[in-house]
Amino acid sequence: MSFFNTKIENLRSVGTQRATLLQKELNIFTYGDLIQRYPFRYLDRTQFYNIVDLHDDLPYVQVKGVLRGREVVGEGPKQRMVAKVADASGELELVWFKGVKWLQSMVKNHQEYIVFGKPSLFNGKPQMAHPELEEVTETKPGQSYLQPVYNTTEKLKNYHRLDSKALARLTADLLRIALPHIHETLSPALIARYGLMSKADALQQIHFPQSTELLQAARFRLKFEELFYVQLKLLRQKTQRKVELAGQIFREVPTLVDFYKNHLTFDLTGAQKRVIHDIYKDFCSGRQMNRLLQGDVGSGKTIVAFISMLMAADNGAQSCLMAPTEILADQHYTGLKVYADQLGISIGKLTGSSRTAERRVLHEQLRNGEMHMLVGTHALLEDVVQFRNLGLTIMDEQHRFGVAQRSRLWQKNPHIIPHVLVMTATPIPRTLAMTLYGDLDVSVIDELPAGRKPIVTVHRYDSNRLKVFQFLRDQIALGRQVYIVYPLIEESETLDYKDLTDGYESIQRAFPEFQISIVHGRMKAEEKDYEMQRFVKRETQIMVATTVIEVGVNVPNASVMVIESAERFGLSQLHQLRGRVGRGADQSYCILMTGYKLSKDSRTRLETMVRTNNGFEIADIDLKLRGPGDLMGTQQSGVLDLLIADLAKDGRILSESRAAAQELLNEDPELALPQNQNIRRHIESLSSTAINWSRIS
């Protein structure tokens, strides 16, 4: 057993009671857990603001001053503690609304404190709410001026004296005995090439940095290592799969040639052709394809999917295309059926609302091979759905599915694993794609079909509604159609539903001369379909909807997208919604409606939308605003539990570490060379890693 698996209670100065607390409150069970809880910031004991210079726009800062008076004011829940500190330049008021009792016993008048917090001006005077206080003590010579600050909980701090300082002491104790046990986990070649600090030094410096430079070096080393191992595992998996998993070979393409010659009504873009070529190469390789197709909204992924399905059909294999919503499945089915009929290929549809009798027939046709192509929703994952010879599975809007579903599709052919193509329109920043889909090959459609005009996006306040409505009337008079979308956030579904129905009524009142469709999540599939079809057939001019419209819907004649309460949508969602227009030859518009009161982040989102149509740029900004975990939504959470690296900020380190991992595998695929023994040993020890890839494959 390794030293780092030692139970935390064995550490001198921990003991059973504290061990239980550390486990319960902070998930610290072992030496390894403690040493890997890196400080979340550092107090630089040499840098202080003068109180007179404090203002509203500063981030967290520290000042040094003497406490001058403290008092508890108010009663009951309004009770708070107020204190003043003064330095040579002025006075700062401090307020706490919580932990008043404890503070009363801790905070000493006339004591000199380091005060850390976010300043604000209240009636022109500087104030800090809930600052952290630390008594000024003499700095011993040789002691670092960068003091680590650890996350802890109110409970541990207030009742058990396990505050940040106490954690620092425990960590220091541990480091003293741990140093001889810390083995280098990277190879000498990598260390030399990237100028990395040793593992032991990095752990020492990350907790107790001797200088800003050494802290930087330690952080770089630990981030590099973390990302390197994530990438190494992914790339090994990818390589192994390529070696081990055979794929059906689809070399013949007669129907595809017929399709190109006689039925395809437009020219494929260069990017589409390139991607189709990538896929064809995979199909001829004899290995299973695992490919991600990234392409912005409207870049034409569906036709690429269909062409791939044709290649399968041309070689006697069945294929399926899975979409996240019924609306989208219907639309794919309707669109592709036109082509399939022309080519004499059978295509079926399976969704949650398919009737039992229909299903029975379909199941049989899939089993006996009469049905060549299947389009559907999650319903096609069900065990009763069995194929005679499934050769290709495609997931559209992959980000809408859980990671696990990718692998369920694999099991649909007992003899040979089908090829897999996953498509995503939410352009994912490269860093995130390299991690989430790091085990896939990636193709990108980075070009829109010719003749598309960039969508004009504007931000309008609710007070301008009449003008906006007039604009809609003018557009409809020109023969166009309009979407009006209301937010849907699941936590307050009832409220949103009310917003939507209120909105629908007011739109009806405002546009008595037009026909209006409505689509939302509470409707039955047939009702939704009926309303969608009315809109597609131009029987209605306006479509009022919730975000069920967001994904993939394609009505080229609709050229205006109005998004109500646009401040409530995330950036990528706004971009997806906007992608519903701009699909025909007409100039299209996206109008973002909001009230006057907007948070800083909302403003950034709106400004970004107005400024650019580029999905990749938008994805990067989204990642910075929201952080990677949130961005991918709950389905993907847990996949990205990184200890120190941050995918939103460490893109460069990620690329370097991935390149390093790839190079290593090229030179030493089995990690058998003696110079790589550190790496081999470490990857074997990473049995329970932060990233649980077993869920993916």
For binding to ligand ADP (CB under 6 A), which residues are involved?
266-269, 272, 295, 297-303, 425, 449, 552, 554, 556, 583
Nearest CB to ligand ADP, comparing residues 390 and 536: 536
Nearest CB to Mg ion, comparing residues 144 and 572: 572
Binder of residue 90, out of Mg ion, ligand ADP, none (CB less than 5 to 8 A by kind)? none
CB neighbour list of residue 146: distance below 8 Å, 6 or more residues apart:
42, 43, 44, 45, 208, 209, 210, 211, 212, 215
Alpha helices in 369-512 (DSSP H): 403-410, 430-436, 465-477, 493-510
Nearest CB to Mg ion, comparing residues 429 and 552: 552
Instruction: Output the smallest distance, CB 7 to Mg ion, in A.
Output: 52
Binder of residue 554, out of ligand ADP, Mg ion, none (CB less than 5 to 8 A by kind)? ligand ADP
Binder of residue 336, out of ligand ADP, Mg ion, none (CB less than 5 to 8 A by kind)? none
Instruction: Output the smallest distance, CB 278 to Mg ion, in A.
Output: 18
Nearest CB to ligand ADP, comparing residues 104 and 342: 342
Q: Are strands 112-117 and 481-485 parallel, antiparallel or unpaired?
A: unpaired
State how far the Cα of 283 lies from the Cα of 326, in Å rounded to an integer.
29
Token pair in block for residue 52: 């007179």
Number of residue whose CB is nearest ligand ADP: 300
Q: Which residue is associated with the tokens 């902070």?
A: 26
Instruction: Output the smallest distance, CB 301 to Mg ion, in A.
Output: 5
Instruction: Output the smallest distance, CB 301 to ligand ADP, in A.
Output: 4
Q: Residue by residue, what is the 3-state secondary structure of 655-682?
A: HHHHHHHHHHHHHCCCCCCHHHHHHHHH
383 CB burial (10 A radius; 0-12, 13-18, 19+): exposed
Token pair in block for residue 647: 């995918």
Name which of 378, 348, 353 is nearest 366 in CA terms: 348
Q: How many residues bind Mg ion (CB under 5 A)?
A: 1
Among residues 298, 552, 615, 628, the one that binds Mg ion under rule CB under 5 A: 552
Q: Residue by residue, what is the 3-state secondary structure of 603-662?
A: HHHHHHHHHCCCHHHHHHHHHHHHCHHHHCCHHHCCCCCCCCCCCCCCHHHHHHHHHHHH
Q: Does 427 bind Mg ion (CB under 5 A)?
A: no
Cα Rg of the chain, angstroms: 30
Instruction: Output the smallest distance, CB 537 to ligand ADP, in A.
Output: 16
Nearest CB to ligand ADP, comparing residues 236 and 583: 583
What are the φ/ψ torsions at residue 304 (nearest 5 degrees)? Answer: -65, -40
The alpha carbon of residue 225 and the mean position of all alpha carbons in its chain are separated, in whole angstroms, by 22
Instruction: Output the smallest distance, CB 448 to ligand ADP, in A.
Output: 8
Number of residue whose CB is nearest Mg ion: 552
**b/e string for 161-200 if b means 16 or more Cβ within 10 A?**
ebbbbbbbebbeebbeebeeebeebbbeebbeebebbbbb
CB 307 within 8 A of CB 484: no
Instruction: Output the smallest distance, CB 361 to Mg ion, in A.
Output: 28
Instruction: Output the smallest distance, CB 334 to ligand ADP, in A.
Output: 12
State how far the Cα of 475 lies from the Cα of 456, in Å rounded to an integer.
14
CB neighbour list of residue 296: distance below 8 Å, 6 or more residues apart:
425, 427, 445, 446, 448, 579, 614, 615, 616
Alpha helices in 161-269 (DSSP H): 164-178, 188-193, 199-207, 212-244, 254-262
Token pair in block for residue 340: 């399939």
CB 373 within 8 A of CB 347: yes
Binder of residue 298, out of Mg ion, ligand ADP, none (CB less than 5 to 8 A by kind)? ligand ADP
Nearest CB to ligand ADP, comparing residues 316 and 449: 449
State how far the Cα of 236 lies from the Cα of 41, in Å rounded to an integer.
34
Instruction: Output the smallest distance, CB 303 to ligand ADP, in A.
Output: 5
Instruction: Output the smallest distance, CB 365 to ligand ADP, in A.
Output: 26
Nearest CB to ligand ADP, comparing residues 131 and 298: 298
266 CB burial (10 A radius; 0-12, 13-18, 19+): exposed
Nearest CB to ligand ADP, comparing residues 209 and 298: 298
Binder of residue 449, out of Mg ion, ligand ADP, none (CB less than 5 to 8 A by kind)? ligand ADP
Instruction: Output the smallest distance, CB 407 to ligand ADP, in A.
Output: 24
Instruction: Output the smallest distance, CB 340 to Mg ion, in A.
Output: 18
Residues of the shown chain interacting with Mg ion in the complex, contacts defined by CB under 5 A:
552
